[in-house]
Amino acid sequence: MNISLIGFMATGKSSVGKALAEKLDKKFIDIDKLIELKEQMPISEIFERKGEREFRKIESAVIEEVSALSGQNLVISCGGGAPLNAQNIENLRRDGIVICLSASLEVIYRRVQNNSSRPVFKTASPTRAQIAELLESRKKSYENCDVCIDVSKGRIGSIVRKILEFIDGQKIKED
């Protein structure tokens, strides 16, 4: 069974995904890294040269390709905008579950400050209002998951434990 992680930028999908994959002895796949390898340029450059619409097409193609690797037992980290296309979620569910990692506006704001690798904002320091607006516009897309886990207060180890509790069919305990 694959485990796919979705959620807004800076919610720890890659960090948690790597730790979860290690704990479960699964292979970790970062969709954004695969896109960069395929396109031979960073995500920010893809946005700049080809635009967001073309990036989303590439992203969907890569998700479809990875999702077709049935029986691979993967932990998949998706980019923040991947759930905007409902077909991406359908593809990810083909052989597994989809877990959304969420965080408070303040936590996200702190994590994205002075981080120029967030091309969707077109600025190195997005404002709280810009983040809140984008977060709100994506809210419904993030709800299309099997479980949502708030990562605002937890460390990577406790978040991994919450995911394992969900997988094992237990009620997730809040920290």
Cβ neighbors of 38 (< 8 A, separation 6 or more) are 58, 62
Count Cβ atoms within 10 A of the Cβ of residue 129 and give its class: 0-12 exposed, 13-18 middle, 19 or more buried. Answer: exposed
Confidence band, pLDDT 50/70/90 cuts, at residue 71: confident
Radius of gyration of the chain (CA): 15
Longest dimension (CA), the chain: 46
Phi/psi zone of residue 12: left (φ > 0), alpha (ψ -120 to 50 degrees), beta?
left
What confidence tier does 156 reach under pLDDT thresholds 50, 70, 90? very high
Which of 158, 106, 143, 111 shows the shortest CA–CA distance to 128?
Answer: 106
pLDDT of 68 over the 60 cut? yes
Domains of the chain, by residue range, sit at 2-162
Q: CATH assignment of 2-162, given 1.10.3210.10, 3.30.1360.10, 3.40.50.300, 3.10.129.10?
A: 3.40.50.300
pTM of the model: 0.92
